[in-house]
Amino acid sequence: MGAIQIIAEIKWNNRDPVYIQVIRYFKTRIASGSLEAGQEIPSRRELAAMLKINPNTAQRAYKEMEEQGLIHTERNLPSRITTDRDVLAGVREELIQSALADFLDSIRPMDIPLEELLELVKRQYRGKGGAGHD
């Protein structure tokens, strides 16, 4: 039950609604490969109990993930991560683009030359556990 064990890693923030943070958590785990295509995930009630959140919040997160095609649920069977490769690839791209947009919005006012910025990013990335990623 790998999915259930890693759920405890969510770090809540006060900016975003909890259901959005739950969705982002699942997307991050999908993008990193921690949750794999077709993998069973906890029921809505199990998730709510594990995270100590309102069951309606868990329901809302699952409903949204189903609408986005991230998970699917058939009748009374457990929900599973999608096996649609296009959806899975899109999750990674979406997270990268979102993080880049946030970063650029915060750094742009400093008017740092692009070459300097790229060098700083490379240095920080390598220093934070990146082993030779270019």
Distance CA 46, CA 124 (A): 38
Per domain, the residue ranges of the chain are: 2-109
Q: What is the pLDDT of residues 34-58, one digit of tens each?
A: 999 999 999 999 999 999 999 999 9
Distance CA 23, CA 104 (A): 23
Beta strand spans in 54-132 (E): 71-72, 80-81
Residue 17 has a pLDDT of 95
What stretch of H or E contains 14? none
Fold category of 2-109 in CATH: Arc Repressor Mutant, subunit A (1.10.10)
Full-prediction pTM beyond 0.95?
no
Distance CA 30, CA 33 (A): 5
What residue ranges of the chain have pLDDT lower than 50?
1-4, 129-132, 134
Which of 68, 62, 71, 69 has its CA nearest to residue 35? 71
Distance CA 38, CA 107 (A): 38
Residue 68 has a pLDDT of 95
For 19, other C-beta atoms within 10 Å of its C-beta total 20
Residue 8 has a pLDDT of 58
Residue 40 has a pLDDT of 95
- Residue 64 sits at φ, ψ, to 5 deg, of -65, -40
